[in-house]
């Protein structure tokens, strides 16, 4: 048990002392995408990934509703 705690402390120290990667601010780009007038609902404006997630969610909901009524 002690070895796990020591390992956890070692990993925590190594991650906390490493420098953070610089991330570009892309908020303005995303705002332009989401504010574009392209007749898409806001939950689908993010691209194909959003569409896939939406379809999977709807399939799970429909399947769950169908199984609930059996």
- Could you report the per-residue pLDDT of 43-59, keeping only the tens digit for each? 899 999 999 999 999 99
Q: What is the DSSP string of 15-45?
A: HHTSPPPP----HHHHHHHHHS-SS--GGGT
| Residue 46, number of CB atoms within 10 A of its CB | 15
Helix and strand element counts for the chain (H, E)? 3, 0
Q: What is the mean pLDDT of each run of 10 residues along the chain (70 residues)?
A: 69 62 90 92 91 96 89
Would you say the pTM of this structure is higher than 0.85? no
> What pLDDT sits at residue 15?
57
Please check whether residue 43 is in contact with residue 50, taking contact to mean a CB–CB distance below 8 angstroms: yes
Q: Quick one: which of 28, 57, 64, 29 has its CA closest to 43?
A: 57
């Amino acid at each position: 048990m002690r070895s796990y705690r020591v390992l956890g402390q070692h990993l925590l120290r190594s991650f906390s002392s490493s420098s953070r990667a610089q991330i570009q601010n892309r908020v303005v780009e995303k705002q332009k995408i989401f504010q574009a007038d392209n007749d898409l609902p806001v939950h689908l404006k993010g691209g194909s990934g959003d569409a896939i997630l939406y379809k999977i969610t709807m399939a799970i909901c429909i399947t769950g509703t169908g199984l609930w009524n059996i």
